[in-house]
Every structure is written in structure tokens, then in C-alpha cells.
Amino acid sequence: DQMRNIVQQMPKAELHIHIEGSLEPELIFALAQRNGVSLAYGSVDELRAAYAFSDLQSFLDIYYAGASVLLKEQDFYDMTMAYLARAHADHVRHAEIFFDPQTHTARGVPFETVIKGIWRACQDGPISATLIMCFLRHLSEDDAIATLEEALPFRDKIIGVGLDSSERGHPPEKFTRVFERCRQLGLHLVAHAGEEGPPAYIETALDVLNVERIDHGVRCLEDPELSARLAREQIALTVCPLSNVKLRVFGAMEEHNLVTLLDAGLVATVNSDDPAYFGGYMNANFLAVFDALPLSAAHARQLARNSFTASFLEPEAKRAFL
């Protein structure tokens, strides 16, 4: 109907996409063959059948296994270009793309191979795209600091840093020193918080790490004072609806709190997180929430506007989109 056309065709930005989470089963098998990597699954269908998650960790185990086929610069290029084409088809005009270098350097893939492949695709691709390097929070802060050192020769290819992987038991404050160094380098700062972890992790991400946006953040509503602050300070939340249901943050899309967040004046955005694993790219996420929740045309306009205002685009570039 009319509303479905509006949300699909409106220009939008994507602010929460893990590029390794855009690796489709077909490309995993093609790269495994190309690189002579053996997989624990016999076919694309067998692999896809394993995509039944009970929580964040059950997803991460399969997500890191899938990334094991990425070895050469061209592999990172092909994965990124496939994402950019899908995003373009969904009328995404600008994407701020997460990548997880430690997932690859731990397997002996050089940092340079990872960033060169991803970055070259961003230069060649059909939409505006910038890169945010994420630290894996289940690893140590020293490991994150070593990763930052490896990134320094490529400082001009990264607009910011983030924090992802297993949230519970790994609070933001574990990464205080490395985030302070990134801040001094002039990098933008974001962190996953309040997905599976408590609202207190959102507060320390803001107050200890000094992040500018919160990735997920949906558990903020458990703390009314924190929710009021996020609205007052207009701190954006990069919400990922299909991810939240697949990882059982919400029992069903009908129970998602996106409308409550928007109506409370929070700067919520809609994003795909790991589209190859959670059932779809940007427009699939938009259609899923518009089908399940009482969202209006005004909400659609607000979500599109929020995606650009919350982006790290330069002010002139933002104005051109708004």
C-alpha cells in the first residue's frame, strides 16, 4: 500500500551495519571454494538452517565462523560491494559501516588487507559510505589498544570507533583508556549498549567513554531518568528491529518499543545490524516495523530525518539530504 511505498522509497542513511554481518551464505560458500577453506556445513541451505538464535552469543558464534572465509583483499571488497548494492536498492544514500578487524587479525589476516578491501569498495560503490572500526569487547583493552596502533597508518580511512560483541559482563568502562585515545585522535565515538546489557551500560558509555551515539540502546526505557536524558540531549539510538526479534531482545515485533521511543522524543533510527543473518536489509527492517506497529507517515519522515541528523556527515552534506 501507500505507506509501504513511502518507507521503501524515502532517502535514508544506515548507521548500524556490521559489514561481516552482510556476508550472505551464497558468498560464504563461494569464498570458501575460492580460498580452499572447509566449512562445518555441507550446503547453503544447511548453513542457513543454522541461523536460529536464542540470544546474542548464539548468533556471534555463527557470525565469527562465517567470517573465517575472508582471507584476501578482494574478499573484503566483494563483501562490501554486495552490501552497498543492496543498500542502494533500498534507497540508502549514506552508510556508516562497522568492521571488526580483530575477527580477522586473530586469524592471521593483516589489518591492511581488511581495511584496503573494504575501503576500496566504499570508493567504488554506488552510495556515500564511511567506516567505523569496532573493538571486540570480549577481548582485553590491551588488545583494543594494539588494534588502534595497527589502524593509525590508515587513520584517514576511519571516521570513528565503536564497541561490539558480547555485551553482558563487558561494560563500556572496560575500554576507558582506548576510547580516550581515540577521542584525542579526533575520531567519532559510538558503542553498543543496552541491547542485552542493562541501562547502566548506556550511562557509562555516555559518561565514561563519551560516545556520541548509542548502538541499540532499546533497554533505556527501563530507566525513566535515563530515557528523559537521552531525549533532552538528543542522543541518537541506532535501533535494529529484525535483529532485536531474532536475538530475543523482544518476543515479537509487535512488542518492539520503537514507537514509544519516538513518541518520547528520542532520536531513534532504523538499521539492519547483520542483514544476512537476521532476515533483511534496510527496507525489510522498515517494512517489518511498519507492518507490526502503529507507525504513521509522520513517524516515517522522522525516522528518515533522524538517520541523517544522527550521521557523522559534515553539516553541508547533511543539509543536502534534509
* Residue 21 contacts ligand HPA per CB under 6 A: yes
Read off the C-alpha cell for 284: 525489510
- 18 is known to lie in a ligand binding site: yes
Identify residues 231-290 at the interface with Zn ion (CB under 5 A). 273
Residue with Cβ nearer ligand HPA (277 or 286): 277
- 273 is known to lie in a ligand binding site: yes
Read off the C-alpha cell for 271: 538499521
* Residue 90 contacts ligand HPA per CB under 6 A: no
With CB under 6 A as the contact rule, the residue among 105, 130, 165, 227 that binds ligand HPA is 165
Identify residues 123-162 at the interface with Zn ion (CB under 5 A). none
String of contacts with ligand HPA for each residue 47-76, x by CB under 6 A: ---------x--------------------
Residue 75's nearest CA partner among 30, 105, 134 is 30
* Residue 18 contacts ligand HPA per CB under 6 A: yes
Identify residues 188-207 at the interface with ligand HPA (CB under 6 A). 192, 195
Give me the least distance between CB of 218 and ligand HPA, in Å please.
Answer: 11
Which member of 24, 96, 195, 196 is catalytic? 195
* Residue 96 contacts Zn ion per CB under 5 A: no
Residue with Cβ nearer Zn ion (117 or 275): 275
Give me the least distance between CB of 286 and Zn ion, in Å please.
Answer: 17
* Residue 20 contacts Zn ion per CB under 5 A: no
- Per residue, what are the HEC states of the chain? CHHHHHHHHCCEEEEEEEHHHHCCHHHHHHHHHHHCCCCCCCCHHHHHHCCCCCCHHHHHHHHHHHHHHCCCHHHHHHHHHHHHHHHHHCCEEEEEEEECHHHHHCCCCCHHHHHHHHHHHHHHCCCEEEEEEEEECCCCHHHHHHHHHHHHHHHHHCCEEEEECCCCCCCHHHHHHHHHHHHHCCCEEEEEECCCCCHHHHHHHHHCCCCCEEEECHHHHHCHHHHHHHHHCCCEEEECHHHHHHCCCCCCHHHCCHHHHHHCCCEEEECCECHHHHCCCHHHHHHHHHHHCCCCHHHHHHHHHHHHHCCCCCHHHHHHHC
* Residue 174 contacts ligand HPA per CB under 6 A: no
- 274 is known to lie in a ligand binding site: yes
Is the CB of residue 219 less than 8 Å from the CB of residue 56? no
- 192 is known to lie in a ligand binding site: yes
- 188 is known to lie in a ligand binding site: no
| Active-site annotation holds for 222 | no
86 binds, among ligand HPA, Zn ion, none (CB under 5 to 8 A by kind): none
By CB under 6 A, how many residues form the interface with ligand HPA? 10
Q: Which residues bind Zn ion (CB under 5 A)?
A: 273
Which residues participate in the annotated binding site for substrate? 274
Indicate which residues carry an active-site annotation.
195
Where is the binding site for Zn(2+), in residues? 16, 18, 192, 273
